[in-house]
Amino acid sequence: MARILMVASEGLPFIKSGGLADVVGSLPQELVKKGHEVRVIMPMYLKIAQKFHEEMQLEAQYSVSIAYHEVPVNIWSTTRKEVKFYFVEHKGYFERDGLYGYIDDGERFAYFQKAVLEMLNQLNYFPEIMHCHDWHTGMLPAMCKEGHSFDERYRNIRFVYTIHNLAFQGNFGPEMLDSCLGLDYRIFDNGNVRYDGGISFMKSGILYADKVTTVSPTYSQEILTPQYGEHMEMVLNIRKYDLWGITNGIDIEMWNPMSDPDVPYHYNKVNVAKEKKENKMALQKELGLTVDPNVMLVGAVSRLTWQKGFYLMMEKLSEICAMPIQVAILGSGESGIEEKMRQLEEGNKGKIAFYNGYSDSLAHRIYAASDLFLMPSLFEPCGISQLISMRYGTLPLVRETGGLKDTVTPYNEFDKTGNGFSFANYNSDEMVQVMYNAIDVYYNRPEDWKILVRNAMNTDVSWEKSAETYCQLYAQLHP
């Protein structure tokens, strides 16, 4: 069994902006159950400092060189379910209102990665495998292999690099190599980190890691093509024989309709039909929808962006409004989509509810109360929402891309198989056609609907299978 250090820019239960945090929160615990020793390190953001600082211990104090200055580092730690979490503290870099999107993001995460590498030396803790996530940690394999190759302790570390979102690549000016990362311009000149005239943290991670993974088998193939490759497909093709697609799971203790504290009526496979109606009526009251336990409720919990397929919805709003359904949408994102959703709610009071923003507890209630969950993504590396919705007996309606294709099996009216509904092309006519099909099954073939709900709730959405695959991957690097 291996000593593994996960390096990430966010993770539950401490901080979350996207699916990366769910993975970093759940996967280490699952790996510990399988006998690995797992630790995690991330930045100490403002919200983490405010909420968790009192329970932490100071582990180390040292400095690293950034922009030719010695910058202090404090390392704090706390433990959750046998997983030790480290936090890199620097008030100036990390104690801000947001996590990302700042002009000095390159410098901030160069500092973070330097702090991680030096922490190993300070604590005399050297993992056998360093598992790096997304662009924020992409330079670590290069920094270790190019800058520490003289030190056997660093030389023995093997690197796994996981791509959660290929669209964000950490592309910065070449001067950062010397000033912040302490790396030789040689690796810019030879093309190893050069990208579009500057450097790319993600390209570096892909080329220098020993194994590269992404978060579903279908997506791992899609990203080798220009359509999904985000201009990184040539680089990924170089590593395609070391590229693994491993589907995410969800924390089935946190997402459990039998014990969820945010859901008023608890249920399992036996009483799902009855209690889902109770949850539906409670949510209808809460959101100002017409109270009707028999109407089909369609839920969506999402970032409101082009990636999530909301442009398809915009094309067919009048048709969707005419359907015999209610719609509950929770999310925020592009201002144009937000405005359209507000107008939609205004013109369809009692039928459409839009909660602009994010509420974790409301998300739980939408999953529990809805009959159908809408997720028509343009691309979706893995997707967490469709896994949660199946866990709650809510049938996902998805586009067949990435992890959605891998996890949702479309309804087959002949042999009654499937755990949801799907359509193949990014096309609003196809989406509406499948919505009509789902509505038809819900109202006219209730026995089929019950079978599909049972199939969905029987789908294994835990980390068990995925963690086993990660174990196989680690075993190739650390026999």
The pLDDT of residue 19: 85
The pLDDT of residue 17: 85
The pLDDT of residue 5: 98
- Helix or strand run (H / E) with residue 368: helix 360-369
The pLDDT of residue 392: 98
Annotated binding site for ADP-alpha-D-glucose: 16
Q: Which residues contact 31 (CB under 8 A, 6 or more apart)?
A: 4, 38, 467, 470, 471
Domain(s) of CATH 3.40.50.2000: residues in the chain: 3-249+464-477, 272-458
Annotated binding site: 16
The pLDDT of residue 317: 86
| Assigned superfamily of 3-249+464-477 | Glycogen Phosphorylase B; (3.40.50.2000)
How far, in Å, CA of 403 to CA of 293, rounded?
32
Do the Cβ atoms of 284 and 292 come closer than 8 Å?
yes
Pairing of strands 37-43, 243-245: unpaired
State if pTM tops 0.95. Answer: no
Pairing of strands 194-195, 3-7: unpaired
Answer whether CATH 3.30.70.100 is correct for domain 272-458.
Answer: no
pLDDT tens track of the chain, all 479 residues? 899 999 999 999 999 988 899 999 999 999 999 999 999 999 999 999 999 999 999 999 999 999 889 999 999 999 999 999 999 999 999 999 999 999 999 999 999 999 999 999 999 999 999 999 999 999 999 999 999 999 999 999 999 999 998 999 999 999 999 999 999 999 999 999 999 999 999 999 999 999 999 999 999 999 999 999 999 999 999 999 999 999 999 999 999 999 999 999 999 999 999 999 999 999 999 999 999 999 999 999 998 988 899 999 889 988 998 999 999 999 999 999 999 999 999 999 999 999 998 888 999 999 999 999 999 999 999 999 999 999 999 999 999 999 999 999 999 999 999 999 999 999 999 999 999 999 999 999 999 999 999 999 999 999 999 999 999 999 999 87
- Nearest of 479, 1, 19 to residue 249 by alpha carbon: 19
Q: What is the DSSP string of 416-442?
A: TB-SBEEESSS-HHHHHHHHHHHHHHH
The 8-class DSSP code of residue 409 comes to: P
Kindly list the distances between the CA atom of residue 396 and the CA atoms of 90, 199, 400, in Å, as whole numbers in the listed order.
42, 39, 11
13 upstream amide cis, omega within 30 of 0: yes
Q: What is the DSSP string of 430-478?
A: HHHHHHHHHHHHHHH-HHHHHHHHHHHHHS--SSHHHHHHHHHHHHHH-
Q: Which segments of 109-214 are extended strands (E)?
A: 129-133, 158-163, 171-172, 194-195, 198-200, 211-214
Tokens (6 digits) for 465: 């299978």
